Amino acid sequence: MVKFDLKDRKILSELDMNARMPLTKLARKVGLSRQVVEYRIKKMEKQNLIFLTNAIFDSVVTGFNWYRVAFRLLNIKKEEKKSLIEYLKNHKYIFWLGEVGGNWDLIINFICKDIFKFNKIFEEIIEKYGSYIRDYEILIYIHVYDLERKYILNEENIERKYFFHEMRFNPKVTLDSLDKKIILELSKNARISNIELGKKFAVTANTIKNRINEMIKNKFLLGFRLSINPAIYGYTSHMLFFEITRLDLQKERELINYLKTITNITFLVKHIGRWRIGMEIETKDEKEFQDIFVDIRGRFSDIITDFEIFPLFKDHVLNYFPEGNLI
């Protein structure tokens, strides 16, 4: 476990939902020099505390859909599992790849044009690695919330920021070749400057700025945030799925609104499929997670009919607009 002080936590907190913040502005906010802030960020990246800086795209706006698959593996050796993970890490349609425990081994989120493309991708994986797959579960995304990590500074009474993926197709929003190039670069490093992007594509920094602003205006680009590895500073990460068969939409909305107030929940999803509500929860220990879980079940026992819990060990991939959709 890596120790980090209050200044580090302030840097993480500021960048969590605004990872593209200029260093000069960040330095003023945390009360350090620009050089010291830059040094601390690089140190946290080297320690793998900061995993990625992400551009948060709602790709459904431009006609792409999100799918989630949980795989349970069987009779797979260490080297064979490594080969499977490497194959998936290089897959051009994967948005997120997580290695988990409990009843499942891998959770994979795909972004692709439609159900037919998804089925083709799914069948290719089954054909290649099906002998190792004992079971699977498929879910379709409806809404997504990327939620601010308020727990970093224990800010429970301050209004919480979040990015809401409404996931509504807008036929008026189209992407040309320059847009796609910008998306590809921002997906690799959300902190790359407009000047750097302009030089790379032989356009002005102002042109880049205007393109990014247009994406934000159209709610296609929701913002920029950090992906951090909570295990590095001693936190555990769990995924929690709830089955809701006694469907009461008003009560379901109350559940979602309540979950948005829990500062340890960092990612909240509504699915079509067996597990109606899914979330990621980062806690200082197992007891804190258990307290949160018991509280949620107690408050909404009238609609929650089943649940599944599994620890999240490692994020291998996170890309809100996979490269295959830019071709």
Q: Give the pLDDT confidence of 74-94 residue by residue, as tens digits.
A: 989 999 999 999 999 999 999
Distance CA 295, CA 261 (A): 13
pLDDT at 233: 87
Q: Three-class SS of residue 192?
A: coil
pTM of the prediction? 0.93
% the chain with pLDDT above 90 = 92
Mean pLDDT over residues 294-322, rounded? 96
Task: Write down the number of H helices and E strands in the chain.
Answer: 10, 11
208-266 pLDDT per residue, tens: 999 999 999 999 999 999 999 999 988 999 999 999 988 788 999 999 999 999 999 99
DSSP state for residue 159 in the 8-state scheme: P
Question: Are 289 and 235 contacting, i.e. CB atoms less than 8 angstroms apart?
Answer: no
pLDDT at 51: 87
pLDDT of residue 81: 95
Please name every residue paired with 225 in a beta bridge, in sequence order, or none if there are none. Answer: 54
Domains and CATH numbers, the chain: 1-47 (1.10.10.10), 60-149+229-323 (3.30.70.3460)
- 115 has pLDDT over 80: yes
Render pLDDT for 13-46 as a digit per residue (tens, 0 to 9). Answer: 999 999 999 999 999 999 999 999 999 999 999 9
**Residue labelled with tokens 């194959």:** 87
Rg (CA), the chain: 20
Checking if the pLDDT of 2 tops 90, the result is no
For the cut 90, the answer to whether the pLDDT of residue 1 exceeds it is: no
The percentage of residues in the chain with a pLDDT greater than 70, rounded to a whole number, is: 99
**For all residues of the chain together, what is the average pLDDT?**
95
Of the listed ranges 64-68, 81-85, 231-235, 274-278, the one predicted with least confidence: 231-235
Which amino acid makes up residue 249? L
The CA-to-CA distance between both ends of the chain, in Å, stands at 41
Contact 211, 178 (CB under 8 A): yes
Residue 40's pLDDT is 95
Q: How far is CA 56 from CA 53, 63, 211, in A?
A: 10, 16, 15
pLDDT at residue 287 is higher than 90: yes
SS3 assignment, position 227: strand
